[in-house]
Amino acid sequence: MPAHILQIDDNAADIELLRTALEESDWDVRFTGLDDVAKGRSYLMEQAGLKSLPNLILVDQSLAGEGADSLFAWLGEHELAVPHRIVFTSGTSQRRRTDLERSGATAVFIKPTLYDDLVAVTVPKLRELIDRDTVHG
């Protein structure tokens, strides 16, 4: 069964970069990119009904309007189990990182600015997280 990743980012170019990087990898992954939290909630409810929740959600920290904090709180309220809830950020203080983790983020990643870094660093990190679940859980 392929890994399942949801990215929520209001920058369409960033979604397409990750989509391309995943397609060019040798990883069997199902990827969905959406541009706001409301669409993310609808998608997650639909996937919950199909018993096909993502293994991993990536949320851009700088989303306009609702952000990662509210999405992660909503996941908890609806008891939707998504093992990896990652915030993509361009850089943040330790205090903000701690706040994001308290709100339900399982990790905070620096968003790569170069495609090569996305391919060489981020995609392998995402794959490692999901593969570890498959092996251990």
| Residues 106, 93: Cα–Cα separation, whole Å | 16
Q: Average pLDDT in the 114-133 region?
A: 89
Each residue's pLDDT tens digit, 91-101: 777 887 888 88
In CATH terms, the fold of domain 3-131 is Rossmann fold (3.40.50)
Each residue's pLDDT tens digit, 48-83: 999 999 999 999 988 877 888 899 999 999 999 999
C-alpha closest to that of 60 among 29, 28, 33: 33
Q: Which residue has the tokens 């990743």?
A: 5
Q: CA distances (Å), 56 to each of 10, 11, 95, in order?
A: 18, 19, 24
Tokens found for residue 6: 């949801």
| Residues 82, 104: Cα–Cα separation, whole Å | 10
pLDDT at residue 129 greater than cutoff 50: yes
pLDDT at residue 8 greater than cutoff 90: yes
Mean pLDDT of the chain: 90
pLDDT at residue 137 greater than cutoff 70: no
**Residue 135: its pLDDT value, please?**
56
